[in-house]
Structures are given as C-alpha cells and as structure tokens.
Amino acid sequence: MTPTINIIHKQSGAAFMLKKNDILTVIDPMGGQVSDMVVFNAEDYKEKLSSGKSLDFEECILLTKGHFLWSNRSQKLMKILEDTNGRNDFLLAPCSPETFKIMYNYEGEHPSCLGNLQHHLQPYGIEVDDIPTAFNIFMNVQFDSDGQLFVKPPTSKAGDYIQFQAQMDVLVGLTACSAEDSNGGTFKPIHYYIETQPKHIKRPR
C-alpha cells in the first residue's frame, strides 16, 4: 500500500506520533528547503532529543545515514536509514521570533520554527521552554577551522529525502523552516509520510 503523503505548507509545522520501528520519510519536494525536527519519548516527554548527546555518542557533527539521534537520557530515539542529500545541521536552535529581531533587526511578527513547533506541540502538553535544539534536516551550516559559522542555502534538490526509524514510541514535531537565510531566500513546503511496521498477528489455533 502506498503511504499517504502529508504536506507541511511553507512556514508551518506538524506534530504526530510514531510507534517503535515505524519509518518516517521527510521529503524536500522543491529543493532548497530546511525542515526542523524535534523528538520526544511518547511515554515521558521529559525525555527528548539531545544535540549534545547525539554529537557526543556519534562522534560527529554532521549526522547522516547510519547515525542515531539520542535523547537527553542517553537512549536512541531515531536511526537515520537513508539520506539522499547528506547535509543536515544539529548545532543551531530552531529559528524563533527573537532570531529575526536579534540577527536581522526584523520588526514585527515573523513566522518561525519555534513558534510552529510550539503551536503543534501544545495540544500534547509541551510548552515552548520544553522544546530542545532541533535536528535541522537539509540545513547547510558550514564552519571554518576557527569555528566561525556560515548559514548557506541547502544543497538539497527536488525530491531529496531522509528516512528515520523510530527506536521507541515517539512524538515528533516537524516544520517547513521560516528563516530567509536558511532556505536560500524562498519558502517552500515539506512533505512527509509514515510507514508502520506490520504487527505480529496471533493466529487462532
């Protein structure tokens, strides 16, 4: 059965549950669009995605196919099964209303990943201060040997995708990023679909 494709419209977000072993595929349908992802243990939201633990345990700051995303309690949350673009960021926090004020002197309301995550995670009882540093899918953050950071347009092409397998039951928040610099100056949608693993069915004897 072909899974249903879900659409996250430009500068918006979504939240949904995955069961252990479910596979989440996140697609950049037009190319050059970042998607921020946060993950929580579905049984206890105090356990959540940790950039620090993930970079430490994977001994790498550019996580891609074969790497795991770890929780603040040192458990595996997600495994990256496939990554056709191969460039993601796990250093920078999700863009927030303050990002646009502090970094771009932007006045007034601006959509943001943090705002969109907050909006979609609130029904699950998650407050804005509970939202961790996101795994920034397709985000192209470059750095030099002095540690200076440069946010470049994503290298993802239309149809590039990344695939995660849940390592426990999890709650996921996902966005189509709202920051001009992270997305090459234009905002596009993000697509995703979920494949559930066939359950073991007990046959009547």
Q: Which of 12, 177, 187, 192 binds Zn ion (CB under 5 A)?
A: 177
Size of the site for Zn ion (CB under 5 A): 4
Q: Which of 38, 179, 188, 190 binds Zn ion (CB under 5 A)?
A: 179
Is position 113 an interface residue for Zn ion (rule: CB under 5 A)? yes
Shortest CB 113 distance to Zn ion, Å: 3
Query: Is 81 or 93 the residue whose CB approaches Zn ion more closely?
Result: 93
Distance CA(164)–CA(77), nearest Å, equals: 10
Distance CA(119)–CA(165), nearest Å, equals: 25
Distance CA(205)–CA(203), nearest Å, equals: 6
Distance CA(26)–CA(181), nearest Å, equals: 21
Is position 162 an interface residue for Zn ion (rule: CB under 5 A)? no
Is position 95 an interface residue for Zn ion (rule: CB under 5 A)? yes
Burial of 127 (0-12, 13-18, 19+ CB in 10 A): exposed
Shortest CB 47 distance to Zn ion, Å: 24
E strands, the chain, in order: 6-8, 13-18, 23-28, 35-41, 44-48, 68-70, 76-83, 135-137, 140-143, 149-152, 160-166, 170-175, 190-195
> Taking contact as CB under 5 A, which single stretch among the options 107-115, 122-130, 146-154, 197-205 is the one that binds Zn ion?
107-115
What separation in angstroms does the CA of 98 have from each of 10, 31, 101, 114, 126? 20, 27, 5, 10, 20
Is position 141 an interface residue for Zn ion (rule: CB under 5 A)? no
> Taking contact as CB under 5 A, which single stretch among the options 50-58, 108-116, 122-130, 139-147 is the one that binds Zn ion?
108-116
> Taking contact as CB under 5 A, which single stretch among the options 5-13, 93-101, 116-124, 193-201 is the one that binds Zn ion?
93-101
Shortest CB 176 distance to Zn ion, Å: 8
Is position 78 an interface residue for Zn ion (rule: CB under 5 A)? no
Binding site for Zn ion (CB under 5 A): 95, 113, 177, 179
